[in-house]
Amino acid sequence: MAQTRQLRLGAFMRPVSLHTGAWRYPGAYPDANFNFAHLKRFAQRLEGAKFDAFFMADHLAVLNMPIEALKRSHTVTSFEPFTLLSALAAVTDRIGLVATASTTFDEPYHIARRFASLDHISGGRAGWNIVTTSNPDAALNFGRQEHVEHGERYRRAREFYDVVTGLWDSFADDAFVRDAESGLYFDPLKLHVLDHKGPSLSVRGPLNIARSPQGWPVIVQAGASEPGRQLAAETAEVIFAAHADLAAGQRFYADVKARAVKAGRSRDDIKILPGAFVVVGDTVEEARAKRAKLDSLVYYESGIASLSIAIGHDASGFDPDAPLPDIPETNASKSGRERVIELAREEDLTVRQLAQRLGGYSGLAFVGTAKAIADEMEEWLVSEGSDGFNVMFPFLPAGLDDFVDKVVPELQRRNIFRREYEGSTLRENLGLARPANRFFEEAPVDRRKAV
Amino acid sequence: MAQTRQLRLGAFMRPVSLHTGAWRYPGAYPDANFNFAHLKRFAQRLEGAKFDAFFMADHLAVLNMPIEALKRSHTVTSFEPFTLLSALAAVTDRIGLVATASTTFDEPYHIARRFASLDHISGGRAGWNIVTTSNPDAALNFGRQEHVEHGERYRRAREFYDVVTGLWDSFADDAFVRDAESGLYFDPLKLHVLDHKGPSLSVRGPLNIARSPQGWPVIVQAGASEPGRQLAAETAEVIFAAHADLAAGQRFYADVKARAVKAGRSRDDIKILPGAFVVVGDTVEEARAKRAKLDSLVYYESGIASLSIAIGHDASGFDPDAPLPDIPETNASKSGRERVIELAREEDLTVRQLAQRLGGYSGLAFVGTAKAIADEMEEWLVSEGSDGFNVMFPFLPAGLDDFVDKVVPELQRRNIFRREYEGSTLRENLGLARPANRFFEEAPVDRRKAV
């Protein structure tokens, strides 16, 4: 049977890994947060493996956690995403570069400019992960005493998206004629002044940058709430989702694709990529041992705090080396509580191991041989659980190298992942159309590469 | 006589050149505004010539000019400076990277993060050109109907500087111990929460980025007004000045260095680099012919508009090919008017040539052989007109190549310009001290390279 559906793979990156124990793992680069040479190597390896995108998460504050936990975490500080991805653009050729930027704490003129500029510099490889920034500590760094409430953040985000995309369309694709003989640099009939005046934003335009290779950088979102899903269904081209299992993935996939169709879009206009934490071993036992080793490096008290929240009960008095005791019903979320109890039973975890799992990473994970991981990824793909994954490496560089050296070839053998990039832009590789300019007729065909 | 004072050379860059006729000059790259390969080549050539810094100007709006002039100008649109300089950081090793960023239309947390991040990525080569943004059109792109008035912009700029530098000091230089064995990533006693609450800004901090290689990126300013000079004398480490001639340069130099001393700083803590437009020829006639050719490519009506403003009299009826006629006294600035009349007389310019000079570039210029240009630069240096120059290339790539191939070796022969970089950071090359952290004791000696 010909397998034509193709996996899309993003790498969800923090310089040291998103796992809080990763900086202590043997062979890790604890200084990667500020060592560009490591990041360059990671991006080049991912490009060699034909990943669709390098995806950089972000925070607008030092993470909000007790100092005893904070001082043990490498996730506090790192490069700012825009400077990092712009630098990586200069040392890579094909991999997409997705930066997170906030609609609550930044200005649409700045965001539109920077992403268009990154798209020009990278030859069409920029993506914008739209976030509304839920961390209340961020507000305090931007002159606000109170965080903006959720509904208001989403209303502003939608308007912000309209303004940014409108600014990206300030010039027609063929506006810049640069005719040295006559002295005409651009055709003024192909310049549009946006003149937006809305409830949250007032932005005149035009943007002082030519329309970029992709027309618009790729729009990425991660919202899982009701307004988040709706915003994504209307505007997102890539969704970074978080699911506990395949069944949850399938429900989300069906829901969002249906919403997109209802909003007048095609199902293929949105690629849904759940985050997946991938630990590769030559045997399943080796993979599990690597994960257990990694979890054991998590600060125990942080883990216990996470466990207490999850079960709605103070876990600090539990025997760390015993199984999870029976705990009374509480008013913690029933599903979250049941998930934790089930996790402990399934993997036969002690209280310490369970706590450290929760304090490290406890979302969707594929832990096993390359073949078993490829089996799971293929199952998600063919059963419409996802269009691919945002891969999270447990530790770097070994976790990334394992995935690139062992899992990617297995996916390629199954013909569900590319051996060569299809095009030169992120849109072309993801199979996304280049957006028409809302203010101007289509550009000549030679400016719009086939996708 | 041993000549120990050394010239500092910045390159004041717009991708096609700041001269409005440059994109039409033979051999120019009219598409350089969005062609990264050209910018990479320029930066690498400047680094090969041991320039101190690549200096990127900026605008937060399409330039405010009539559409008939605008459509003929390449200065309308280009890369955003931060993305460009970050990309250049990845393909250069020693040259400084100075980006313009506005204190009026951006947030100190963002600015502090991006410059610190660029400093990390580049290994200590970032500089911040602080501007308050005088273009009133910019306000309309940032939700304001009226531009912020001058005094208020400068008060905010000063507070903004205090906040940004305070955020840069959020962590002691030796805060990050990264002891994998004990699990301690950073020492919490070496983290400072700024908690700034001032008249214009309220920013809690800490910055989510380690103190950068230079401690603080180099502070650059260009303000020439009374509050601009005072702000610069108190805070700037490099001043990008604009002077008509050496005498004006000497007055400014003496004034600002005296203000700096009065503010408790040393004269050497500020490097004053006037902008200088440099046209190189094998003979002075050839250099002048190049400039005349370049000026002839300026849109005549733009030039006439500039001339009319300069003399305070409508010049559109003048015979373009005749000398400047006698014009009645007007209420235009007397010094500006006299400068224009003198310029026409000195160089024997027709109305057309004069208009095109004003519409292109009419500030400080060195036009002649490499030897004559080196003579002028040396005279400015030894007579305390400046500490060096921000060189403006009339057209690219030829104007840059001429300077690098002909003028730089002449300066090196005179021992007033380096043959090798003195250090690895911009501060080390400029001879500027690394700022102490205002909240913490000095870091161990091995973290503070000698300058």
Q: Is the pLDDT of residue B2 over 70?
A: no
Which chain B residues are Cβ-neighbours of A175 within 8 angstroms? Answer: none
- pLDDT for B450 equals 38
- pLDDT for B66 equals 82
Q: Do B185 and A79 touch (CB under 8 A)?
A: no
Which chain B residues are Cβ-neighbours of A101 within 8 angstroms? Answer: none
Which chain A residues are Cβ-neighbours of B91 within 8 angstroms? Answer: 90-91
B31, B71, B75, best to mutate vs chain A, most A CBs in 10 Å: B71
Which chain A residues are Cβ-neighbours of B297 within 8 angstroms? Answer: 183
What does pLDDT average to over chain A?
93
The answer on whether A225 is annotated among ligand-binding residues is yes
- pLDDT for B364 equals 96
The mean per-residue pLDDT over the stretch B380-408 comes to 98
Q: Do B117 and A84 touch (CB under 8 A)?
A: yes
Sequence-ordered list of residues with C-beta below 8 angstroms from that of A105, at least 6 positions apart, any chain: A60, A133, A138, A139, A141, A142, B107
Q: Is the pLDDT of residue A449 over 70?
A: no
Query: How far apart (Å, rounded) are the C-alpha atoms in residues A98 and A121?
Result: 14
Task: Convert the pLDDT of each residue in B229-259 to its tens digit.
Answer: 988 999 999 999 999 899 999 999 999 999 9
The answer on whether B326 is annotated among ligand-binding residues is no
Q: Which of A59, A109, A208 sits opposite B77 (nearest CB)?
A: A208
The answer on whether B58 is annotated among ligand-binding residues is yes
Q: Judging by beta carbons within 10 Å of its beta carbon (0-12, 13-18, 19+), is residue B292 exposed, middle or buried?
A: middle
C-alpha R_g of chain B: 23
The answer on whether B150 is annotated among ligand-binding residues is yes
* Confidence category of residue A198, pLDDT binned at 50, 70, 90: very high
Which chain B residues are Cβ-neighbours of A202 within 8 angstroms? Answer: 140, 143, 145
Task: Convert the pLDDT of each residue in B33-82 to its tens digit.
Answer: 999 999 999 999 999 999 999 999 888 888 777 888 889 988 878 999 99
Q: Which of B62, B90, B110 sits opposite A91 (nearest CB)?
A: B90
Task: Convert the pLDDT of each residue in A4-51 to its tens digit.
Answer: 789 999 999 999 999 999 999 999 999 999 999 999 999 999 999 999
Query: How far apart (Å, rounded) are the C-alpha atoms in residues A256 and A268?
Result: 11
Give me the phi and psi of B444, to 5 degrees please.
-55, 150
Residue B169 structure tokens: 């000091």
A17, A63, A100, A121, best to mutate vs chain B, most B CBs in 10 Å: A121
Q: Which of B80, B90, B171 sits opposite A87 (nearest CB)?
A: B90
Q: Is the pLDDT of residue A282 over 90?
A: yes
Query: CA-nearest residue of chain B to A26?
Result: B180
The mean per-residue pLDDT over the stretch A392-413 comes to 98
Q: Which of B79, B90, B141 sits opposite A204 (nearest CB)?
A: B141
- pLDDT for A441 equals 82
Query: CA-nearest residue of chain A to B191?
Result: A71
Query: How far apart (Å, rounded) are the C-alpha atoms in residues B179 and B164?
Result: 29
B59, B92, B121, best to mutate vs chain A, most A CBs in 10 Å: B121
* Confidence category of residue B443, pLDDT binned at 50, 70, 90: low
The mean per-residue pLDDT over the stretch A191-201 comes to 95
CB atoms under 10 Å from CB of A424, counted, come to 16
Question: Among residues A375, A324, A378, A373, which one has the least CA distance to residue A353?
Answer: A324
Percent of the residues in chain B that have a pLDDT greater than 70, as a whole number: 97
Task: Convert the pLDDT of each residue in A220-241 to its tens digit.
Answer: 998 788 888 988 999 999 999 9
- pLDDT for B1 equals 45
Which chain B residues are Cβ-neighbours of A82 within 8 angstroms? Answer: 82-83, 86, 114
Q: Do B297 and A183 touch (CB under 8 A)?
A: yes
Quote the minimal CA–CA distance from B372 to chain A in Å: 32
- pLDDT for B327 equals 85
- pLDDT for A444 equals 53
Q: Do B121 and A209 touch (CB under 8 A)?
A: no
Which chain A residues are Cβ-neighbours of B141 within 8 angstroms? Answer: 109, 203-205
Query: CA-nearest residue of chain A to B39?
Result: A121
- pLDDT for B444 equals 53
Q: Judging by beta carbons within 10 Å of its beta carbon (0-12, 13-18, 19+), is residue A358 exposed, middle or buried?
A: buried
Q: Is the pLDDT of residue B448 over 60?
A: no
Percent of the residues in chain B that have a pLDDT greater than 90, as a whole number: 80
Query: How far apart (Å, rounded) are the C-alpha atoms in residues B86 and B80?
Result: 10
3-state secondary structure of A368: strand
Q: Do A142 and B72 touch (CB under 8 A)?
A: no
For CA atoms B372, B376, B382, B387, give the dihedral sign.
negative
The answer on whether A154 is annotated among ligand-binding residues is yes
Quote the minimal CA–CA distance from A255 to chain B in Å: 36
Asked if B6 and B416 count as a contact pair (C-beta separation under 8 A), the reply is yes
Query: CA-nearest residue of chain B to A181?
Result: B24
Asked if A124 and A214 count as a contact pair (C-beta separation under 8 A), the reply is yes
Quote the minimal CA–CA distance from B264 to chain A in Å: 31
Query: How far apart (Å, rounded) are the C-alpha atoms in residues A112 and B164?
Result: 24
Task: Convert the pLDDT of each residue in A109-159 to its tens digit.
Answer: 999 999 999 999 999 999 999 988 878 889 899 988 777 788 888 899 999
Q: What is the set of domains in chain B, with CATH numbers?
A: 8-279+369-447 (3.20.20.30), 289-359 (no CATH)
Query: How far apart (Å, rounded) are the C-alpha atoms in residues B40 and B54?
Result: 11
Q: Which of A89, A106, A210 sits opposite B110 (nearest CB)?
A: A106
Asked if A107 and B219 count as a contact pair (C-beta separation under 8 A), the reply is no
Query: CA-nearest residue of chain B to A86?
Result: B87
Query: CA-nearest residue of chain B to A112?
Result: B80
Q: Do B117 and A80 touch (CB under 8 A)?
A: yes
Which chain B residues are Cβ-neighbours of A30 within 8 angstroms? Answer: 178, 180, 185
Q: Which of B86, B184, B210 sits opposite A71 (nearest CB)?
A: B184
Q: Do B72 and A209 touch (CB under 8 A)?
A: no
Residue B183 host element (H or E): none
Query: How far apart (Å, rounded) are the C-alpha atoms in residues B236 and B127?
Result: 11
Q: Is the pLDDT of residue B449 over 70?
A: no
Which chain B residues are Cβ-neighbours of A107 within 8 angstroms? Answer: 105-106, 142-143
A86, A104, A174, best to mutate vs chain B, most B CBs in 10 Å: A86
3-state secondary structure of B252: helix
Task: Convert the pLDDT of each residue in A54-98 to its tens digit.
Answer: 999 888 888 777 888 889 988 878 999 999 999 999 999 999 999
Q: Is the pLDDT of residue A181 over 60?
A: yes
Task: Convert the pLDDT of each residue in A244-273 to its tens digit.
Answer: 899 999 999 999 999 999 999 999 999 999
Q: Which of A76, A117, A180 sits opposite B79 (nearest CB)?
A: A117
Q: Is the pLDDT of residue B119 over 50?
A: yes
Which chain B residues are Cβ-neighbours of A208 within 8 angstroms? Answer: 59-63, 76-78
Which chain B residues are Cβ-neighbours of A116 within 8 angstroms? Answer: 80
* Confidence category of residue A337, pLDDT binned at 50, 70, 90: confident
* Confidence category of residue B280, pLDDT binned at 50, 70, 90: very high
The mean per-residue pLDDT over the stretch A408-424 comes to 97
Quote the minimal CA–CA distance from B20 to chain A in Å: 11
ipTM of this predicted complex? 0.95
The mean per-residue pLDDT over the stretch B123-136 comes to 91
Query: How far apart (Å, rounded) are the C-alpha atoms in residues A97 and A44?
Result: 12
Q: Do B114 and A73 touch (CB under 8 A)?
A: no
Tracing tokens 């399938």 back to the chain, one arrives at A250
B25, B34, B35, B63, best to mutate vs chain A, most A CBs in 10 Å: B34
Query: How far apart (Å, rounded) are the C-alpha atoms in residues B190 and B177?
Result: 10
Q: Tell how far CA B432 is from the center of its chain.
A: 17
Q: Is the pLDDT of residue A443 over 70?
A: no
3-state secondary structure of B303: helix
Transcribe A377-415 into DSSP letters: HHHHHHTTS-SEEEEE-SSTTHHHHHIIIIIHHHHHHTT
Q: Is the pLDDT of residue A329 over 70?
A: yes
Give the Å distances, CA to CA, from A406 to A58, A370, A372, A409: 29, 6, 11, 6
Q: Which of A28, A33, A185 sits opposite B72 (nearest CB)?
A: A185
Q: Do B203 and A120 touch (CB under 8 A)?
A: no
Q: Do A143 and B299 touch (CB under 8 A)?
A: no
In B336-447, at which residue ranges do the beta strands (DSSP E only) sit?
Answer: 365-368, 388-392
- pLDDT for B226 equals 86
